[in-house]
Amino acid sequence: MTQGTPPLSRLPAGKQRQRRTQQRRWLNRLWSWLITLAGGSVILALLGIFVYLLTEVTPLFKPVSAQPIVVEHSPPAFDITPAPIPAAAATAAGFEVAFSLVEPLQGYLLLAASNGEACLWWQRQPEAGCLQRLSLTDRTVNLTTLRWLAGKQSIVSGDSSGQLKQWFFLPDEHGQLRISWIKPFARRNAAIVDIAPEQGRSGFAVLDAAGGVSLFYANLTKPLWQGQAAEYQRATRLQFSQRNEQLWLLGPGEPTALQLDNRHPEISWRTLFQKVWYEGWQQPEYVWQSSGGAELRQGKYSLVPLTIGTLKAAFYAMLVAVPLGILAALYTACFLSEPLRSRLSQLIELLALFPTVIIGFLAAIWLAPALEQHLLALLLFLLLLPLLVLALARLWPRLPKRWQQIPGSGWDLMLLAALLFVTAYLALLGGDTLQQQFFSGSFRFWLNEQGVSYQQRNALVVGLAMGFAVLPIIFSICYDVMSQVPRQLTLGASALGATHWQIVRRVIWPLSLPGVLAAVMLGLGRALGETMIILMATGNAPISNFNLFEGLRSLTATLTIELPEAAVDSSHYRMLFLVAILLFIFTFMANTLADLVRQRLKRNFQRLDT
């Protein structure tokens, strides 16, 4: 061996190859284990997040429980003495008053007899007598109790048949309050002895003559909890503790108390997804109203307005992004020539890096006022553009042959840009003229007069802004899919005499369709998860309709706005976790469908390559 020459391995050549093969095998196994570990960690992290969300939501649907406890002290005293009845009111009623309730805001007085006959009297118009006469019970039963719920906008009556009814004070067409029957609650097994309202919430407890105790909430007709015991028959009155954690049964002898576990009575599947008639509302509605002054006593947590708002924003965004993204990708991949094709695709893909907060800012500050002023011009533009394109297509075969060679050279982009500019100018000019001549200078005010509500920050603004944000995703995936169609198929179709458009329609588009669908689903997932554009470009009003000219409130915007203000462990706090789960399900479904379509596309291309 000469000096400076590296020593040769003493192993035979066959063993060297075997050792290298074994090293590569172990290295491949190591990479496989690392990839498996990373993938498994991601899956476990997602499962952990989902389980954590479920643990925060589960207490909302925990059944109500009540356990007897040893009484160590007397319950706090509450003044239940009825207010004195004015002589004019008693005279106007014309019956022996057994029950009376005073409406504190406007001074209405409800007087009721034991047979259920009632009179509504107003102290501001004593000479008018009874403003309304009604019967609070059926004719064959007697009224046994009448109570306000918290807030004194809702009344619950009980009678000798065990029937419970809810009544609201609602204004009539003249603005005067009238008592309206709302709904019955589940009938009890015996006559109602007493009704005790909760402190600060719209729940109440019911005691019947058979010793049954039931817990109700004003939004639900069925009891949250019910129990019966012999010692309950001695009670004549119910009373809640200050924080509604205990229910006292008072009467002759020693008082009895129940320890209650009833933290979230306002949450149920019915209140989440069905219409509810809330206190002070004219009719049942889907309402999301987590806070607001006196409304704190009755939280409104319907998920329907938030779900509709999310789907509404995504629908209008996809209505803008899908046709523009697909057609732009089809034109770029199939008709443009290099290097313009690559430059244009890179430019559109760079739009995906544009911060959505800037898009939302521009939509709120510039786009929304511009659309409000030129709404008719936009509608006219959408009408004129297809007409001008059809006219150009009709005229194109009549042009000189050398002009018909423009497509694919780059000049067609300038021609299309000029067409868009001319169409926009004509629409703006025609929209302003029509607005002045036929709509009194404002198309928006004319819409409002026709009963179509128009808000400045509406779904149209969100659709255009979010469509701009989603478009690069759809374009990029569609362009890549269309560019990857095997070239031998297009060349074979061309050799058989197919025109360029026939190749696109019969070869490229059918093979690209699964990928296009995957792009649409990924764009939908992006639109469902968008936050800043919706937060800045809408009024964030939880409205349950698909009106293009009204605002909306999405699931993402609700989480962003309300989570910092929610009290920990409150119903509002846990409802926001349920909102997060619903958003997680929406985006998971969209992305899963997109991946399934992508796998199908991959199998189709593999069959073509073989």
Q: What is the pLDDT of residue 77?
A: 65
Can you tell me the distance from the alpha carbon of 187 to that of 35, in angstroms, rounded to the nearest whole number? 62
Q: How far is CA 317 from the centre of its chain?
A: 16
Can you tell me the distance from the alpha carbon of 288 to that of 254, in angstroms, rounded to the nearest whole number? 44
User: With the CA atoms of 313, 314, 315 and 317 taken in that order, what torsion angle do they form, in degrees rounded to the nearest 10?
Assistant: 80
The b/e string for 250-286 (b: 16+ C-beta within 10 A; e otherwise) is bbeeebbbbebebbbbbbbeebbeeebbbbeeeeeeb
**pLDDT above 90: residue 312:** yes
415 or 460, which is more confident:
460
Closest of 322, 333, 590, 588 to residue 474, by C-alpha: 322
Question: Which pLDDT band holds residue 280 (cuts at 50, 70, 90)?
Answer: confident
> Would you put residue 432 in left (φ > 0), alpha (ψ -120 to 50) or beta?
alpha
pTM of the model: 0.85
How much of the chain, in percent, has pLDDT values that exceed 90? Answer: 32
Q: What is the per-residue pLDDT across 120-163, written as a single tens digit (0 to 9) for each?
A: 998 888 888 898 999 999 888 999 999 999 878 899 999 999 99
Closest of 315, 380, 608 to residue 484, by C-alpha: 608
Q: What is the pLDDT of residue 293?
A: 44
Can you tell me the distance from the alpha carbon of 38 to that of 34, in angstroms, rounded to the nearest whole number? 6
CATH class of the region 304-609: mainly alpha
At 268 the three-state DSSP class reads coil
Q: DSSP of 417-462, one letter per residue?
A: HHHHHHHHHHHHHHHHHHHHHHSTT-HHHHHHHTT----SS-HHHH
Angle at 417 (CA atoms; ends 415, 419), nearest 5 degrees: 70
Give the pLDDT mean for 23-51.
88
Cβ-in-10-Å burial (0-12, 13-18, 19+) of 379 comes to: middle
Q: What is the pLDDT of residue 165?
A: 95
Which tokens belong to 570? 């409150």
Give the pLDDT mean for 50-73.
88
Q: What is the pLDDT of residue 242?
A: 85
Reading across the β-sheet that carries 143-148, which strands appear in turn?
A: 143-148, 154-159, 164-171, 177-185
**pLDDT above 90: residue 574:** yes
Q: What is the per-residue pLDDT across 512-543, written as a single tens digit (0 to 9) for each?
A: 888 888 889 889 988 998 889 999 988 888 88
Question: Which pLDDT band holds residue 74 (cuts at 50, 70, 90)?
Answer: low
How much of the chain, in percent, has pLDDT values that exceed 70? Answer: 91
Closest of 124, 116, 69, 79 to residue 95, by C-alpha: 116
Question: Which pLDDT band holds residue 339 (cuts at 50, 70, 90)?
Answer: confident
Give the pLDDT mean for 302-311.
93
The answer to whether 441 and 291 are in contact (CB under 8 A) is: no
Q: What is the pLDDT of residue 76?
A: 66
Residue with tokens 């993402």: 556
Can you tell me the distance from the alpha carbon of 610 to that of 601, in angstroms, rounded to the nearest whole number? 15
Residue with tokens 């704190």: 296
Closest of 233, 234, 212, 214 to residue 224, by C-alpha: 214
Which tokens belong to 500? 């360029």
Question: Which pLDDT band holds residue 581 (cuts at 50, 70, 90)?
Answer: very high
User: With the CA atoms of 398, 404, 407 and 408 taken in that order, what torsion angle do they form, in degrees rounded to the nearest 10?
Assistant: 170
1 or 454, which is more confident:
454
CATH fold match for the domains 87-268 and 304-609: no
Can you tell me the distance from the alpha carbon of 88 to that of 556, in angstroms, rounded to the nearest whole number? 57
Question: Which pLDDT band holds residue 1 (cuts at 50, 70, 90)?
Answer: very low
- One-letter identity of residue 219: N
At 86 the three-state DSSP class reads coil
Can you tell me the distance from the alpha carbon of 561 to that of 291, in angstroms, rounded to the nearest whole number? 12
**pLDDT above 70: residue 406:** no
Question: Which pLDDT band holds residue 226 (cuts at 50, 70, 90)?
Answer: very high
The answer to whether 200 and 152 are in contact (CB under 8 A) is: no
382-386, 413-417, 554-558, 563-567, range with the lowest pLDDT: 413-417
Q: What is the pLDDT of residue 410?
A: 61
Residue with tokens 């739009």: 351
425 or 402, which is more confident:
425
Give the pLDDT mean for 93-118.
88
Q: What is the pLDDT of residue 225?
A: 93
Question: Which pLDDT band holds residue 295 (cuts at 50, 70, 90)?
Answer: very low
Cβ-in-10-Å burial (0-12, 13-18, 19+) of 457 comes to: buried
Q: What is the per-residue pLDDT across 228-264, written as a single tens digit (0 to 9) for each?
A: 887 788 888 899 988 889 998 888 877 888 999 998 9
Closest of 148, 137, 134, 138 to residue 93, by C-alpha: 134
Domain definitions of the chain by residue range? 87-268, 304-609
Can you tell me the distance from the alpha carbon of 462 to that of 115, in angstroms, rounded to the nearest whole number? 58
Cβ-in-10-Å burial (0-12, 13-18, 19+) of 593 comes to: middle
Which tokens belong to 468? 């701009």
Q: What is the pLDDT of residue 556?
A: 92
Question: Which pLDDT band holds residue 10 (cuts at 50, 70, 90)?
Answer: low
138-147, 530-539, 562-571, 586-595, range with the lowest pLDDT: 586-595
Give the fold, CATH level 3, of 87-268: Methylamine Dehydrogenase; Chain H (2.130.10)
**pLDDT above 70: residue 387:** yes
Instruction: Please report, in angstroms and rounded to a whole number, the separation of the first and last CA atoms in the chain.
Output: 53
Q: What is the per-residue pLDDT across 407-457, written as a single tens digit (0 to 9) for each?
A: 555 667 777 788 888 888 888 888 888 888 888 778 888 888 888 888 888
The answer to whether 363 and 458 are in contact (CB under 8 A) is: no
Q: At what angle do helices 304-334 and 571-609 cross, to 10 degrees?
A: 30
Q: What is the per-residue pLDDT across 159-217, written as a single tens digit (0 to 9) for each?
A: 999 999 999 988 888 777 889 999 999 999 899 999 999 988 889 999 999 889 999 99
Average pLDDT of the chain to the nearest whole number: 85
